[in-house]
């Protein structure tokens, strides 16, 4: 007897999932978990309960969320405040615990052993997945899907690695996201609406529009000076945060008016927008500077050239990750273009010499745009992370049934 989901795709069983998210810093942890939770509900017929230990950060990307509520319903997801004083299993009803088929430990957060033991008791067949950080490094394929035996807990635990190749778990990509970006890029009317939704006036005709979401950028002044002298108008939208703060100190107009205009440059602070609106922004821009694991993937789906200031790690481990990513992305690119992209990323990462490379970037813009789309095309040919995750669980259950 085969699994219902496989033999009859019309009758989809609901997969009850619990996700644990700890906000270490910034918005990547909650950004990824919230996106995954919504997609599992909207596209994979899952019932999702999301435990989050920092609702204030969550509310920055999802303003409808009430940080004071310990349990609330949002976009079909049950959001629960994960607080150290309350055992998570007591925040679920006994039926919710028994139904749970999949427990996701996101981005190296630690789920309390007492929750895992309670789940093992309530549903011994539940799976426990460690949803890992994103990396393009080769070793991830060797670890993806491997069991991770845990002492003292009877649940089966596996590693699940997101990634850019078909031998890992894929990337978060909603069904509509690429089509939405393409539609926006082709319609002036949709663009007007999107600017309005972002609370901004549409840029002057012919402007080069750029978004800047980065950790820090001390070497930015010489690049801004170049933009100010450009023949083309430049609109640079800087995301709210530490970088915006430091720019406010350098350009007092930014502090008073939220805007600094000099020659062809308009530098403007963009208040933090809800997560779905950030996709609109990326699709509206000609170039996106992005930073952590989630924004870089969103930049892919926007289909516009991007520069990734990867999350910094101890002993410069992030530079290996960045090089592995660029090698993969630029594998089929002409050598000179691949070298330019690497140089641009390293200059932006190291916060120096970026202005020197800018004219070459502009000269090669069309070629970089087309290689960005080629790379996007390769990724679109692969399954997305949410589908892969559900298939992983289904396959596991079929295998356990067949071999038990």
**31 near ligand TRH (CB under 6 A):** yes
Shortest spacing between CB 199 and ligand TRH, in angstroms: 11
Count the neighbouring beta carbons within 10 Å of the beta carbon of residue 404. 6
CA dihedral 95→96→97→101, nearest 10 degrees, is 110
Of 18, 61, 171, 177, which one interacts with ligand TRH (CB under 6 A)?
61
Distance CA 186, CA 283 (A): 11
Candidate ranges 11-19, 83-91, 226-234, 289-297; the one touching ligand TRH (CB under 6 A): 289-297
Rounded to whole angstroms, what are the CA distances from 180 to 4, 276, 282, 369?
Answer: 33, 11, 11, 18
Which residue, 90 or 312, is less far from ligand TRH as judged by CB? 312
118 or 172: whose CB is closer to ligand TRH?
172
Is 29 catalytic? The answer is yes
Quote the least distance from Cβ 151 to ligand TRH, whole Å. 27
116 three-state secondary structure: helix
Q: Which stretch binds ligand TRH (CB under 6 A): 40-48, 172-180, 287-295, 324-332?
A: 287-295
Contacts of 102 (CB under 8 A, 6+ apart): 15, 16, 17, 18, 126, 127, 129, 389, 393
Q: Is residue 398 a contact partner of residue 7, using CB atoms and an 8 Å limit?
A: no
Please tell me the count of residues contacting ligand TRH according to CB under 6 A.
20
Cα separation, 325 vs 338, in Å, equals 12
What are the start-end ranges of the H helices in 167-233?
Answer: 177-186, 188-197, 221-229
Evaluate whether 234 touches 207 at the Cβ level (below 8 Å). yes
Q: Is 316 in the site for ligand TRH (CB under 6 A)?
A: no
Identify the active-site residue in 54, 132, 279, 293.
Answer: 293
What distance in Å separates the CA atoms of residue 379 and residue 388, rounded to the nearest whole number? 14
Nearer Cβ to ligand TRH (47/54): 54
Distance CA 160, CA 132 (A): 6
Q: Does 203 bind ligand TRH (CB under 6 A)?
A: no
**Position among 132, 293, 349, 384 found at the interface with ligand TRH (CB under 6 A):** 293
Among 22, 99, 288, 295, binds ligand TRH (CB under 6 A): 295
19 close to 37: Cβ distance less than 8 angstroms: yes
Task: Specify whether 293 is catalytic.
Answer: yes
Interface with ligand TRH (CB under 6 A), residue from 16, 162, 203, 292: 292
Beta carbon of residue 130, minimum distance to ligand TRH (angstroms, whole number): 15
164 binds ligand TRH (CB under 6 A): no
Q: How far is the CB of 170 from ligand TRH (least distance, A)?
A: 17
Give the binding site for ligand TRH (CB under 6 A): 24-29, 31, 61, 213, 239, 272-273, 275, 278, 291-295, 311
Residues belonging to the active site: 29, 293
């Amino acid at each position: 007897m085969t699994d219902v989901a496989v033999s009859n795709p019309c009758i989809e069983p609901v997969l009850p999932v619990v996700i644990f998210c700890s906000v270490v810093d910034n918005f990547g942890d909650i950004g990824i978990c919230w996106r995954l939770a919504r997609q599992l509900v909207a596209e994979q017929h899952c019932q999702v309960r999301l435990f989050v230990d920092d609702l204030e950060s969550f509310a920055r990307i999802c303003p409808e969320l009430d940080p004071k509520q310990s349990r609330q319903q949002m976009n079909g997801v049950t959001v629960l405040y994960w607080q150290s004083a309350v055992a998570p299993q007591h925040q679920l009803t006994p039926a919710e615990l028994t139904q749970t088929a999949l427990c996701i430990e996101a981005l190296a957060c630690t789920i309390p052993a007492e929750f895992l033991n309670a789940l093992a008791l309530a549903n011994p067949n539940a799976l426990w997945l460690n949803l890992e950080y994103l990396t393009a490094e080769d070793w991830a394929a060797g670890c993806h899907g491997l069991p991770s035996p845990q002492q003292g807990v009877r649940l089966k635990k596996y590693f699940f690695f997101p990634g850019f190749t078909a031998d890992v778990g894929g990337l978060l990509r909603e069904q509509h996201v690429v089509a939405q970006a393409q539609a926006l890029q082709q319609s002036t009317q949709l663009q007007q609406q999107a600017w309005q939704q972002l609370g901004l006036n549409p840029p002057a005709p012919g402007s080069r529009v750029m978004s800047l979401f980065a950790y820090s950028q001390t070497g930015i002044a010489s690049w801004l000076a170049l933009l100010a002298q450009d023949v083309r108008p430049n609109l640079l939208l800087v995301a709210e945060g530490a970088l915006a703060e430091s720019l406010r100190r350098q350009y007092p107009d930014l502090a008073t008016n939220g805007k600094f205009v000099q020659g062809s440059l308009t530098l403007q602070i963009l208040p933090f927008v809800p997560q779905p609106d950030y996709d609109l922004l990326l699709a509206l821009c000609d170039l996106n500077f992005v930073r952590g694991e989630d924004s870089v993937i969103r930049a892919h789906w926007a289909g516009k050239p991007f520069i990734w200031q990867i999350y910094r790690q101890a002993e410069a481990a992030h530079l290996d990750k960045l090089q592995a990513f660029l090698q993969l992305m630029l594998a089929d690119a002409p050598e000179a273009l691949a070298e330019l992209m690497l140089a641009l990323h390293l200059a932006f990462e190291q916060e120096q010499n970026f202005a020197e490379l800018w004219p070459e970037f502009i000269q090669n813009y069309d070629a970089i745009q087309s290689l960005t789309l080629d790379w996007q095309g390769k990724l679109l040919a692969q399954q997305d992370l949410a589908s892969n995750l559900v298939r992983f669980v289904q396959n596991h259950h079929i295998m356990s049934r067949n071999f038990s």
